[in-house]
């Protein structure tokens, strides 16, 4: 029980370096610039719907990655894990 709580605490407190998120943001920006340039030159004459969908997919993927990295503050929650550990602890008393 003590080992699993220590492992869990370390896992929640350990995060990716900020350089990883910076590189992810730069890749998103580069993809957006290349897609916008291709649409602007007339070669990839996409509609506004395609541009909106592209931007939405990039933003959603970035949000999901951040949300999975910080599970206590986003939409993806891990509160049920706390309840499981509390049940185990109460069963030991």
- Digit-coded pLDDT (tens) for 14-72: 777 788 888 888 988 888 888 878 777 776 566 778 778 888 888 888 888 888 777 76
Instruction: Report pLDDT for 1.
Output: 55
Is pLDDT above 80 for 6? no
How far apart (Å, rounded) are the C-alpha atoms in residues 73 and 3? 25
Domain boundaries, the chain: 18-92
Nearest CA-CA partner of 35 in 20, 52, 21: 52
- Digit-coded pLDDT (tens) for 66-90: 887 777 677 777 666 667 777 777 8
How far apart (Å, rounded) are the C-alpha atoms in residues 10 and 6? 6
Instruction: Report pLDDT for 75.
Output: 78
């Amino acid at each position: 029980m003590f080992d699993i709580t220590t492992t869990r605490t370390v896992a929640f407190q350990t995060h990716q370096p900020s350089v990883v998120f910076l590189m992810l943001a730069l890749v998103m920006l580069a993809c957006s610039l290349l897609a916008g340039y291709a649409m602007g030159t007339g070669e990839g004459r996409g509609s506004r719907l395609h541009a909106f969908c592209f931007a939405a997919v990039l933003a959603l993927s970035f949000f999901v990655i951040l949300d999975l990295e910080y599970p206590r503050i986003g939409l993806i929650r891990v509160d049920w894990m706390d309840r499981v550990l509390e049940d185990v602890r109460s069963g030991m008393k």
